[in-house]
Structure formats: C-alpha cells, structure tokens
Amino acid sequence: MVEVLIAERGDLGGAELDAAERLVRSAFGSSFRSHDWLHAVEGVHVVLTAEQSLVAFAAVVARTLHHNGIAFDTGYVEGVAVRADQQGCGLGRLVMDHAENIIRTRHQLGALNAVETATDFYAARGWRAWTGHTQAVGPAGVIDTYDHADRIYLLHPAGVDQPFDSETALICDWRPGDLW
C-alpha cells in the first residue's frame, strides 16, 4: 500500500531529505546538479512511500512568473522522480495528482521544465507547452533566458482564464543555477 505525505517546507528531517535527494539524483543521473536539488528543498514536498521506503517524490516551489504585465503566484514543480523498480505502476501519476492539487489550491498557475522523455506525460495531464520567448528578472534587470533544451509547461488552474500569448515573453524570478 502506498502512503502519501504532503510535507510543508521544513517538515522533513535530514534523513528524509537525503533519501529524497538520492531518489531524484538516481532518476536524473549526471544531469542533476547540486543547485537543482536546492531548488526542490524549498518547496512543499509530495512524498510517496511503500513499506516505509520512499518510492516517489515531487516538490512544488512558490515562484512568481510574469506575463503581459501580470504577476502570477506560481507553483513550480521540481524534482519529480519515481524509484526505478516502481516505474510503470502509476506512481508518477499519483505524485503529480498531489502536486497539481497543491497548485490548484495554493497558486494561480503551475509551471515546470520537463525532461524530454516526460513531455507526453505532462501534455496528457493538461499541461501546455510554452512555445514563446523566456526571460528572467535578475539583479541586473531583465535578461534573455531562451534555451532550445527547455521544455517549459504551464498548468492553468480553474479561474485563470488569462490567455498566454506566445508573442509576449514569459518571465521568471531570479534564483541561483538554472532559472527555469
């Protein structure tokens, strides 16, 4: 039986965070860097366990995205991972069900930067690929952040009927490491 824990920032202890980091690192391999994990630590964590063992994880981090002069309180999804021997059992769907519920109840918008192999998964869940330009508000002002490798997806919860025009840049807040 899979148990679900929604852990607020600071609720997980060091051993639990270490286990989550190992799981996420094993899922992403060498492409996952230290700052990537630091992005996930600051969020609300969705932790799935089976027989007291971590089997899936995701974090929803509060960020601000701007589009067309409007600031959106955004739940940005980080560190989605399912243990290798548990993949294909619906745990990715379950962890994202809970992450999306956090977005819908606490934020105006959801966003994430997907790995290529997960794009169909997110699209099937109603996430929409962002095809426009990207920027970030940093210490030196607004900078261009376009990267052809980015696969940014947005989730528009009920009540957000603001059309997102791909001709207008999507702008994220500044953070160390990868901005998206």
DSSP labels, 121-155: HHHHTT-EE--S-EEEEETTEEEE---TT--EEEE
Q: Give, as one character, the DSSP assignment of residue 12.
A: S
Phi, psi of 5 (to 5 degrees): -125, 125
- The CA-atom distances, in angstroms, between 52 and each of 19, 134, 155 are 12, 41, 32
Question: Residue 138's beta-bridge partner residues?
Answer: 141
**Is the residue at 179 inside a domain?**
no
CATH number of 44's domain: 3.40.630.30
**Is the residue at 178 inside a domain?**
no
What is the span of the domain harbouring residue 123? 2-173
**Is the residue at 154 inside a domain?**
yes
**Is the residue at 118 inside a domain?**
yes
Give the count of domains, the chain. 1
CB 92 within 8 A of CB 83: no
**Is the residue at 180 inside a domain?**
no
Q: Could you read off the pLDDT of 102-119 as tens digits, one per residue?
A: 999 999 999 999 999 999
pLDDT of 148 reads 86
Q: What proportion of the chain, given as a percentage, has pLDDT over 70?
A: 96
